[in-house]
Amino acid sequence: MLSQHHTPIHRSATRRAKACSHHIHHVLCLSHRSKCLRAKASPSVCPVSAQPMQRPCAVRTTRRETGAGVATFTPEDAKAARMMNFRQEFSLEEGRVVIQALTVPLIEQTAELLAVSFVATAAHLAPYASYVRRNIVRYLREHQALAPDAMVLVAVLQPSAEREAAAAGDKDGPGPGSEVAAAAAPPPRGPADAGEAGPPVSPGAGWPPAAVSPGALLSRTRPRVIGSAEVSFRRITRSSQPFLSEPEKCCYMCNMAVSPVFRRRGVATRLLAAAEQVAVEVMAESEMYLHLRFVDKEAAALYERAGFYQQGEHWPIAPLFGIQRMKLMRKDLGY
């Protein structure tokens, strides 16, 4: 970005040329790092297709020729590979749910889920929903390749064979609008797993069923992203909260969101447990932090049940400075 101050022409030409050269070099370096991260992750990624999910691909150890012989993965490469091959499964009535690392084919679905959540918790952004979604897509494309510094987990529903057969039989039955109407109906409310949805900035906040867009609804014949959570292990990969910072080096839950159709059914609890498992087994972390808005009462109950407790909070006068009041939550990962 060009600086805003001005210098005399006869003294600034050389400076501008140097600054431009430095800026281009910086952009090329960032681009090269992003490509390298994607190249490291790609051997271990198993794209999700319309067919039933197969077992994850085995990690291939990339070897690099050096003057002294053959070098294997570095420790950071090994951590990234373990993250990309992470997998947990559990069952719902609609089919099998697989919790895994975000892959490129799932970015669009995940962005839609997060965009619906974000816009629903910031009503003034509703006219800019498409713009918000495009920015989230770019964000996910960058962060999908940041392992092991950060990891985006997604819960992917694999429809059962019975549901696929039923969907095929519906071709001669009710019209396509019936599935949308059924999926858009609000789920039954209950005490379990309350608050299992959150915006891209602060985990836990839910959104009303009316905010669900048709593109975010469940398909009965192909895998669908029904939940997402991102965990960060380096401060450079996450945003900060003014006057209420987590430790510089820690495991930090950046965001969590669950489709309204699947709230209060254990999806958020499973995503949170998966993030904790990665933090302990891959990154050897002993604690996890997150920020929680004061208005997210149901989400607070969810995290407190999971073992989080309040570490700090914003001053009551924070809103006078344009800062939304937050709580800093902490959990000791005693696995």
pLDDT in tens, 122-151: 777 778 889 999 999 999 999 999 999 999
Q: Which of 150, 325, 153 is nearest to 250 (CA)?
A: 150
Residues with Cβ < 8 Å from 87, sequence gap 6 or more?
56, 98, 99, 100
Residues in the chain: 335
| Residue-level pLDDT at 335 | 59
Least confident segment among 38-52, 141-155, 168-182: 38-52
DSSP-based three-state secondary structure for 18:
helix
Among 53, 30, 79, which residue's Cα sits nearest to residue 155?
53
Residue 279 or 50, more confident: 279
If one compares 74 and 44, the residue with the highest pLDDT of the two is 74
pLDDT band at 1 (very low <50, low <70, confident <90, very high): very low
Which residues neighbour 219 within 8 Å (Cβ) at sequence distance 6 or greater? 159
Share of the chain above pLDDT 90, in %: 53
**Which residue's entry shows tokens 């690099």?**
64
- Contacts of residue 123, defined as CB under 8 A and 6 or more positions apart, other chains included, come to none
**Span 86-120, pLDDT tens digits:** 999 999 999 999 999 999 999 999 999 999 988 88
Six-digit token pair at 19?
């600054």
Q: Report the mean per-residue pLDDT for the chain.
A: 74
Pairing of strands 309-313, 251-258: unpaired
What are the backbone dihedrals phi and psi of residue 252, each rounded to the nearest 5 degrees, phi first?
-130, 125
DSSP state of 52: P
Residues whose CB falls within 8 Å of the CB of residue 55, separated by 6 or more in sequence, listed in order? none
Average pLDDT over residues 234-259: 95
pLDDT in tens, 199-216: 333 333 333 333 344 344
User: pLDDT tens-digit profile of 17-41?
Assistant: 444 444 434 433 444 444 444 444 4
The domains located in the chain, with CATH, are 74-285 (3.40.630)
Predicted pLDDT at 169: 58
Q: Is the pTM of this model over 0.85?
A: no
pLDDT of residue 33: 44
